[in-house]
Amino acid sequence: MPHRYGSTVVFEHGGLVGKMDLNFIVGGPQGGGIETAGLLAVRALAAQGLEVFADREYHSNIKGKHSYSHIRASEKRIRSIKYPVDFLGALDVETLATHYHELKREGMLVHGTGLSRKQLTKIPSMDIHRMERLKADLENIGDTVEELDEWLERGGMTVLALPFAEIISDEAEQSPPMIERVMNTALTTTLLRAAGIPLKTVVEAIEALFKEKEEVKTLNISVATAVSKSLDETAGGKRLKIAPNIPQPAEKGKRMLVAGNDAVAVGKLVGGLRLQTYYPITPAADESFVIEQHSVLLDSDDKTLGSPIVIQAEDEISAICMAIGGALTGVRSATCTSGPGFSLMVEGIGWAGNNEVPVVITYYQRGGPSTGLPTRHSQSDLLFSLNAGHGEFSRIVLASGDHEEAMNDAIKCMNYAEKYQVPVIHLLDKGIANCVTTVRPSLVKEIVRGKRDASGQDYRRFALADDQISPRAYLGESLMWYTGDEHDEAGHISEDPQTRRMMYEKRMGKREKILKETPDEDKAVLFGEQDYEDLIITWGITTGAAVDAIPELASKGYRAAVLQLRMMDPFPSDHVAGILSKAENLISIEANYLGQLAELVKWKCGADVRKRVLKYTGRLITQDEVVHAFDRIKSGETRIVLSGGE
């Protein structure tokens, strides 16, 4: 804890890092280097041996609106963020106005002295509704940043208003135009050093971040060094004694630092992807950009396997149709999209279902309907993904709950698509797509290509079989027909009622086979107490917040477990019902209005999950929200709507 002696701030016994569970927010104007600041902090914390989880929040405009990264670091694995935060770093007034109330009582605020005399209620970029709430909040605080600083200090926070511009100019010898460009590094270095991260680690993170930009790397190192040097000198009436360095934890083996988009791209490449189609849409497009950067695939002996082809189509209709065409030729094909794009793909998905095409659609949910919240989180497309396309046909909908699962599920989805000859929807959310975390991937190594027939003799593409799976030949290997109409075994159009029945049952009969052969860990995963009284049912990125909350719930005397549902279609009703039957109380936690997972469980298992914790603001559900909501549920509430985060 910081202790105050006059105008000096002294940190003892490791300062704010004693509990080794830290939350940082660093914010500023979009386009002002906030993403780089967040990545620098994440890299430095990970390089120090800590586990990290970072959420990036940004508006759907190019430049100017408020953007921030919320970064959590711990010695133990973490899968969520939580409030309040230990450190808040602000590049502009809007960050202060937006996040000051999220700072912990013993926390630290860092900003440049250039902000001190600016007014909090005159922020042109701030949403008018947010400004109205801010003015009401500031009635007893004051209108300027300086007054806010004083109010925070009276409340037990530490405020460091540092002359970053002077430090960068004098120590790093930079002129005014360049000062603004490196202010993010100055701010982030201060936060990291105050938390006990050695300057050496910060420099290593800068070197990794700018390894291909020598001049930029040199500049940022000089700024970080200058700022670090100044921290134990008098600045703005306060002096910061650097916290003792965080000790390097025991060797943890190889880890990857990835966003969800990166994880899926890696999984697809490892799994043998050869054709990726897409139309640019947030938050899906980054996945294709990563695949584009890896133009050559190598095996374990560094021998060239081939090159994935990435095509930016003119729209999502073309993207799904191109991917289907690629799959028919025998290459592993996938496309990626978000809600509006998936809406356009629906007819193509139905065609793939009718023709038993093994194509993968990676579906990143975001806030809807329509354009909705293009850059914000949601879990509101679950029921849509299950029912997209008229008529009935078999599909697989597999939902990942974290980055490591997303990486492996990308491989599994291609395996399942070819094994069962169905379209597979890999269901993710914006939280997984854009959050960055440390993982230790143990990748799926088996590649399953499914039943084959390349004989070319009397080939029937849709031949009836006891296991509902016809041997597959690729275009050019045999004579075959494909049509959007109902068809016979050869693929010829047919409206004969008996043929219709046999083809329909062949396609739909795959569902039982899929459920029988899919391992339980791909259906659902149970965390926490095995002798549970309360069972939290959740999915996607929200799983992390619920699982992280288990120890705190246990400390309160609750016997709680978390059930993460993964296989959404075909739904493993018997398997899930067995788990549900052991609980006295069922609580769903998810990021939508209806409680779509709870509705699905009721539909498939007959279990009425009446207690629902929901959030649809576009922000992640956090660990602290799960704990507080659970307390309210146990007190008798049945529907709780969360609204934390900015």
pLDDT of residue 445: 87
pTM over 0.75: yes
Query: What would the two tokens of residue 205 be?
Result: 């993170």
Instruction: Identify the pLDDT of residue 302.
Output: 75
Looking at CATH, the fold of the domain delimited by 2-230 is given as: Pyruvate-ferredoxin Oxidoreductase; domain 3 (3.40.920)
pLDDT of residue 633: 98
Q: Report pLDDT for 207.
A: 96
pLDDT at 288: 97
What is the arithmetic mean of pLDDT over 586-597? 98
Q: What is the C-alpha to C-alpha distance for residues 124 and 193, in angstroms, rounded to an integer?
A: 32
β-strands 639-642, 611-615 pairing: parallel
The closest alpha carbon to 108, from 223, 202, 242, 222, belongs to: 242
- Report, at the CATH architecture level, how domain 520-642 is classified: 3-Layer(aba) Sandwich (3.40)
pLDDT, tens only, 427-478:
999 999 999 999 998 888 899 999 999 788 899 999 999 999 999 999 999 9
Considering the chain, tell me which residue range(s) the CATH 3.40.50.920 domain(s) occupy. Answer: 520-642
DSSP 8-state assignment for residue 17: G
- pLDDT tens-digit profile of 54-94? 999 999 887 889 999 999 999 999 999 999 999 999 999 99
Which one, of 537, 545, 601, 551, lies nearest residue 572 by Cα? 601
Residue 483 has pLDDT above 80, yes or no: yes
Residue of 252 and 593 predicted with greater confidence: 593
Out of 76-80, 179-183, 234-238, least confident range: 234-238
Please determine, looking at this structure, whether the domain spanning 257-439 carries the CATH number 3.30.1370.60. Answer: no
The pLDDT, as a whole number, for residue 19 is 57
pLDDT of 175 over the 80 cut:
no
The larger pLDDT score, comparing residue 230 to residue 549, is at: 549
Instruction: Say what the pLDDT of residue 170 is.
Output: 78
> Cα 369 to the chain's mean position, in Å?
20
Q: Mention every residue, 6+ apart, whose C-beta is less than 8 A from residue 387.
A: none
Residue 355 has pLDDT above 80, yes or no: yes
Task: Give Cα separations from 55 to 23, 69, 144, 207, 525 (angstroms).
Answer: 11, 6, 29, 23, 24
Mean pLDDT of the chain: 91
Distance of CA 126 to the CA centre of its chain: 26
Please check the confidence at residue 183 and state whether its pLDDT lies above 80.
Answer: yes
Residues 406 and 432 sit within 8 Å (Cβ to Cβ): yes
Q: Residue holding tokens 């693929």?
A: 491
Rounded to a whole number of angstroms, the distance between the first and last alpha carbons of the chain is 27
Q: What is the DSSP letter of 116?
A: T
CA atoms within 13 A on the CB side of 479: 4
- The pLDDT tens digits for 600-638 are 999 999 999 999 999 999 999 999 999 999 999 999 999
Structure tokens of 581?
């039957």
Q: Do residues 77 and 54 touch, judged by C-beta distance below 8 A?
A: no
Residues 96-110 have a mean pLDDT of 95
- 429 by DSSP, 3-state: which? strand
pLDDT at 441: 83
Contact 420, 469 (CB under 8 A): yes
**Per-residue b or e along 617-627, where b marks 16 or more CB atoms closer than 10 Å to that residue's CB:** bbbbbbbbbbb
Mean per-residue pLDDT, 479-502: 97
C-alpha angle with apex 254: 250 to 260, nearest 5 degrees?
120
Summarised one tens digit per residue, pLDDT across range 510-565 is 999 999 999 999 999 999 989 999 999 999 999 999 999 999 999 999 999 999 99
If one counts every other C-beta atom within 10 angstroms of the C-beta of residue 202, the result is 27
> So what's the pLDDT on residue 234?
45
Give mean pLDDT, residues 376-390.
Answer: 98
Average pLDDT over residues 227-241: 60
Domain(s) of CATH 3.40.50.970: residues in the chain = 257-439
pLDDT computed for residue 3 by the predictor = 26
Give the CA distances from residue 615 to residues 56, 102, 492, 625, in Å, rounded to whole numbers and listed in that order: 18, 18, 49, 10
Residue 269: closest CA among 302, 312, 303, 309: 309
User: 243 pLDDT band (50/70/90 cuts)?
Assistant: low
Question: To 10 degrees, what angle do helices 403-420 and 260-270 make?
Answer: 40
How large a percentage of the chain has pLDDT more than 70? 92
DSSP-based three-state secondary structure for 121: coil
Number of H helices, E strands in the chain: 21, 25
Please state which of the ranges 96-100, 210-214, 302-306, 464-468 shows the lowest mean pLDDT.
302-306
Query: Given CA atoms 582, 586, 592, 593 in this order, what sign does their dihedral have?
Result: positive
> Is residue 295 pLDDT above 80, yes or no?
no
- Higher pLDDT: 578 or 246? It is 578
Instruction: Give start-end residues of each CATH 3.40.920.10 domain in the chain.
Output: 2-230
Whether pLDDT at 11 is above 70: no
